[in-house]
Amino acid sequence: KQEVTQIPAALSVPEGENLVLNCSFTDSAIYNLQWFRQDPGKGLTSLLLIQSSQREQTSGRLNASLDKSSGRSTLYIAASQPGDSATYLCAVRPRTGRRALTFGSGTRLQVQP
Amino acid sequence: DAGVTQSPTHLIKTRGQQVTLRCSPKSGHDTVSWYQQALGQGPQFIFQYYEEEERQRGNFPDRFSGHQFPNYSSELNVNALLLGDSALYLCASSRYVGLAEALTEQYFGPGTRLTVT
């Protein structure tokens, strides 16, 4: 059974800092990995999707890397802003069996102005 | 493009009652998945519908059922509500492509907040 773990569970940083969010998964047989942002009480906004054959994806100040063999992904946020405050979730899609997303519990990020 | 829409936004029900939640997928998408997200947790997969049939199911009891209509919209029904069913219910849509049944990126709706008292 696939398990996804996100560390840390919560993070508070001053504005302007670069930061790294971590995601690990137990089964490397994945199709892709997706990072989402969730504002309180709201739905999920997809940030980056990395296919299993890729090593990283970039969008603006966000960079996500994937090391499938070690079961790890990181989300790097450059020059953090108060508007980045949200919960960040990673999810993996398995290559076999059910193809539904398996999510981690998220990292709750607060960027202090 | 309206994206994925869900209704209602919020709902309050009493234990033992039944509830129906609705989802309209993003234009061009034919697959709808439902997830349950308890407070402070990541979403948990309930089931997925494609071509009006349930294709995959997570570890949820039979009290949870669904339906997909010819226009690809979907309903989630929960019978005999329990306090533990209180959660944010998320709908995600996507499109099957290719022989490998690979799914394109999933797009999520804003969710329905269900409170069971």
> pLDDT tens per residue, chain A (113 residues)?
899 999 999 999 999 999 999 999 999 989 889 999 999 888 999 999 998 889 999 999 999 999 999 999 999 999 999 999 999 999 998 886 557 899 999 999 999 99
From chain B, the residues in CB contact with A106 under 8 A are 42
- Is A89's CB within 8 Å of B113's CB? no
pLDDT at A96: 67
Whether B101 and chain A come into contact, CB under 8 Å, resolves to: yes
Residue B103: pLDDT band with limits 50, 70, 90: low
**A107 token code pair:** 């990292």
B-chain residue closest to A103, CA distance: B42
Whether B41 and chain A come into contact, CB under 8 Å, resolves to: yes
Place of tokens 């490397």: A28
Q: What are the angstrom distances between the C-alpha of B14 and each of A88, B39, B116?
A: 32, 19, 5
Length of chain A in residues, anyone?
113
